[in-house]
Amino acid sequence: MNRSAVLYAFGLWAVWTLATWLLEGRIETFNRPDALADRLIYTLVANLLFGIIGAMVLLRWLLSAAGSEWKIAGFGSLGRDVAPDFYPA
């Protein structure tokens, strides 16, 4: 296993964990019923941006850097991976 791939994955995990703490844990977003906007920001930034899209981009970048064919790993075009309903097969 490539050592830099593990470091990049750990770095993404650290950024996601920091975003989770800043947007949810530090201000206790889920303990306040009136914090609807805070929960939306937390969900979009920490979970969607870093957790899903960041992981997809990192995985795709690491696969292409390793010389692997990313289509064999199950990836399609970027538009089809992100919004499959708008990009039919």
pLDDT tens-digit series, residues 15-41:
888 888 887 777 777 777 887 777 788
Per-residue pLDDT, 37: 79
Q: Which two tokens stand for residue 60?
A: 């795709």
Tell me the pLDDT of the chain averaged across its residues.
77
**Is residue 69 pLDDT above 60, yes or no?**
yes
Q: What is the mean pLDDT of residues 1-10?
A: 79
Q: Are residues 23 and 38 in contact, defined by beta-carbon separation less than 8 angstroms? A: yes
Torsion of CA 9, 11, 17, 18, to 10 degrees: -160
